[in-house]
Chain A
């Protein structure tokens, strides 16, 4: 039984890795690089915080 579980673990891992690679490829080909890397640090702070004590 334990050997079956071990093979199952390899199988599930391979399936999930393939899914992530597929989704990565799909995402990168659907959206532009500018959109994907558009996150900026401190957005909330810049908008909401004025730092007046």
Chain B
């Protein structure tokens, strides 16, 4: 950390090529909410299968607390370490290279598998609506992934403008459904009292609530993806905290509305296994218009999520290449579109392959696992950050309150979530941890010798306290 790179002149097109700083807080919001909002349309409802409708509500709020901690911690660190790669760059500067390498892999896995889940969702929805014998989802899955990869290839501004429009429309569909079912008048359309009773609210008791954490993560999974835009926003110290916190507030509202409408229209047993809870809720109302709106809301949310995931996974991969943690070939920036085009192209066939071999539950679980590993890191990271560079020692765009309470809350909730995942997908959890262990050995004993050790630390900070 003592080697601070000499100041570099700004990138000049034709001489040196860098990512383009064109984004504002709205794009940051569109990136974060866009990735996550699909979780309201599918995914969260599997927590009802684990613990009943009330468990799904409890985890909605408790996991909301986990993610509020994530957003607060992330906003502080990223407003200071504003670089593509997000949490990877944070880990590199604050913890060390091995942690950074692992965090980047968490990011790439989480976003790639989420993108795969989104594309599968679009394909399945098309096949469901078509109700045509012999029709398979593959064409629609491939179209979703390839079109969005192409969009990302062509430039970040267009990609995130598109994401803003699509995300806003999907969010609007939730609001339309909510107000159409007269939420102020229980019994008119909504039947919460009949569907969630004291007898069936927690069918498996409190262990069901713990188990529900596994899919409760899906309400907000991916909001931390806002940090990947750090190198492309015009004012990172302002835009990233604004966009991330506004995104978190948006999602807390969406999650609460979604649970209320779905739990009031669908029995908990059905809610626990359907892939389209909001769409099904709209169908139950008997309104063709609502069914149409929620069908497109579901499709658009999945498209927005896959779009943001391609953006984020490519930037994490690109950052690894730029620091030579992977071959520097991956760190190429397109001279015209100013995007990490080789990383986008490299990850495209990987996403397509997973889309063909993985099912939705498996893909979601791998995404969740990588996400929770990353959140666990963040709780430790912020403690180290505050110790090494206390308040007042470096300029922060945002300082989160009540430190270290959010970090402790985050760590404890991550432990509970790991236990919940172990209950349902223990073998996948063990396999994934084994994978990260082996890849860490490869990095430590083989790959790290290619890294230019001094050059990778780019933040012009003073020496950390105690060093």
Which residues of A line the B interface, CB within 8 A? 2-3, 5-10, 12-13, 16-17, 19-21, 23-24, 27, 30-31, 33, 35-47, 49-53
Contacts and interface: CB of A to CB of B under 8 A. Distances in A.
Contact of A46 (B8, B140, B146, B456): B8
Nearest to A38: B16
B459 A45 contact: yes
Contact of B142 (A3, A10, A33): A10
B150 A41 contact: no
A6 B130 CA distance: 11
B460 A49 contact: yes
Contacts of B8: 40, 42-43, 46-47
A45 B140 contact: no
B353 interface: no
A39 to B, nearest CB: 4
Interface in B316-343: 319, 321-323, 328-329, 331-336, 341-342
A9 B140 CA distance: 6
22 contacts: A2-B135, A3-B135, A9-B143, A16-B149, A20-B150, A35-B14, A35-B16, A36-B333, A37-B328, A37-B331, A38-B333, A39-B17, A40-B8, A41-B83, A41-B323, A42-B459, A46-B458, A47-B7, A47-B10, A49-B460, A51-B394, A51-B395
Contacts of A19: 150
Main secondary structure of the interface of A (DSSP, over half): helix
Given A13-B147, A37-B332, A38-B17, A43 B139 contact: no
Contacts of A17: 146, 348
Contacts of B231: 41, 44
A46 B335 contact: no
Interface string B47-83: 0000000000000000000000000000000000011
Given A3-B135, A20-B153, A46 B147 contact: no
Top 3 nearest A-B pairs (CB, nearest first) are A42-B458, A9-B143, A38-B16
A41 B452 CA distance: 13
A27 B344 CA distance: 14
Number of contact residues on B: which range applies?
35 or more
A24 B132 contact: no
Contacts of A27: 334-336, 341
A36 B335 contact: yes
A7 B140 CA distance: 9
Contacts of B132: 2-3
Nearest to A19: B150
A43 B18 contact: yes
B460 A13 contact: no
Contact of B139 (A10, A38, A52): A10
Nearest to B18: A39
A7 to B, nearest CB: 7
Given A51-B462, A52-B395, 5 more contacts: A35-B15, A37-B332, A41-B319, A44-B21, A45-B82
A38 B321 CA distance: 12
A15 B328 CA distance: 29
Contacts of A23: 153, 341
Contacts of B18: 38-40, 43
B223 interface: no
A19 B341 CA distance: 13
A9 B126 CA distance: 12
Contacts of B147: 12-13, 16
B461 interface: yes
A53 B394 CA distance: 6
A53 B393 contact: yes
Interface in B1-52: 5-11, 14-19, 21
Contacts of A51: 394-395, 460-462
